[in-house]
A and B are shown apart, each in its own frame.
Chain A
């Protein structure tokens, strides 16, 4: 029994980019088609466990390179099946479902937008506007470090709470501004208190230009206060239907 790595699924008529490099020892990436669906497959390293950082990066690079030109349904990393099972167990039993999902994703790509506050600028706003934070900051500054521990924790808690309230508000407005250019949006909760936004947008290829221009305009409006980062075009990781 041998194993095959599956990166994702595409339409059977899709053509893969030429220079894909997979995570297996051969590095080769090809497709196995059945009906209207094809699995993007490669070999599997046998002398080590799968799941290293290079494996993760290779999976993403392959899936996103394919997504740049054609609709792809990404597999959850890492995805290994028995070689015999690619058609019989993976594609055949779910063929019609895969066709539906690929149809729904056809002509669309994901962009992920992340934003982070320019920390000092926004912290200064908080100090300015919140008397409690300002008072505590002054108190902490006058105490030796050992004696100020609990005040520092409290100060940090106040700052974090205020930051999160602010970013929930600003993050939502940011998403609203871009929403009209996307077919679907998924807003994730940002990871750090000074992260403003972490949202995935499913954008029609024909509207990529408009979307990118609006992100750029938004970035210009927020310059000096929020730093925006736009990832994409990507495979529709956040828009894969459950089940």
Chain B
């Protein structure tokens, strides 16, 4: 690990990887990626049991909507009500931390969930919204969400 240097530098960007990644990162990074060779298919002959892993963090649409509605409504707790407020106030609101705590909590929950799946070896299949083309018209996306 001498060749690839980890810069400590300015610190505007959080660093990870190379064995120090979180479980969620690793799941997203390596599941379903990498070389597949047909010899792996016959592994069952060796008597080794392999868990099928397909952990996807897919939150039901309505839950996602409600979560963002809540986050949007919460904005006003910091402000003066009607209309907007300027960016400085908002940034202060963020650094004071109420909202951030909440978001982090949800992330942790998602990670725990993936952990459970991996640990318990549950089989999950939820292929929607993965590997989809990057740019699609908004209308198409809206339709998907209604499904």
Contacts and interface: CB of A to CB of B under 8 A. Distances in A.
Interface string B101-128: 0010000000000010011010000000
A119 B7 contact: no
A198 B132 CA distance: 13
Interface in A17-64: 17, 44, 46, 49-53, 56-57, 59-61, 63-64
A69 B2 CA distance: 7
A89 interface: yes
A155 B30 contact: no
B48 A46 contact: yes
A243 to B, nearest CB: 8
A188 interface: yes
Given A56-B53, A124-B90, A237-B34, A64 B19 contact: yes
B50 A51 contact: yes
Contact of A189 (B21, B72, B132): B132
B48 A138 contact: no
Interface residues of A, number: 99
Given A52-B119, A68-B1, A75-B35, A228 B85 contact: no
B30 A232 contact: no
Interface string A101-127: 000000001011000001111011011
Contacts of B39: 81-82, 85, 89-90
Task: Classify chain B: how many residues form its interface, as a range.
Answer: 35 or more
Contact of B14 (A2, A44, A76, A230): A230
A192 B21 CA distance: 19
B48 A74 contact: no
B17 A234 contact: yes
A198 B28 CA distance: 10
B33 interface: yes
A1 B46 contact: yes
Given A51-B50, A156-B65, A126 B15 contact: no
A76 B26 contact: no
B19 A60 contact: yes
A111 B64 CA distance: 29
A120 B93 contact: yes
Interface in B43-80: 43, 45-53, 57, 59, 62, 64-76, 78
B46 A189 contact: no
Nearest to B139: A161
Contacts of B13: 215-216, 218-219, 228-230
Given A56-B30, A69-B4, A120-B74, 5 more contacts: A56-B23, A60-B19, A78-B53, A160-B68, A172-B135
25 contacts: A44-B48, A49-B50, A51-B53, A52-B121, A60-B21, A61-B19, A63-B30, A68-B4, A69-B3, A73-B35, A77-B53, A120-B94, A124-B85, A126-B72, A156-B65, A157-B145, A159-B69, A161-B142, A189-B133, A193-B64, A209-B5, A212-B9, A213-B9, A228-B13, A232-B18
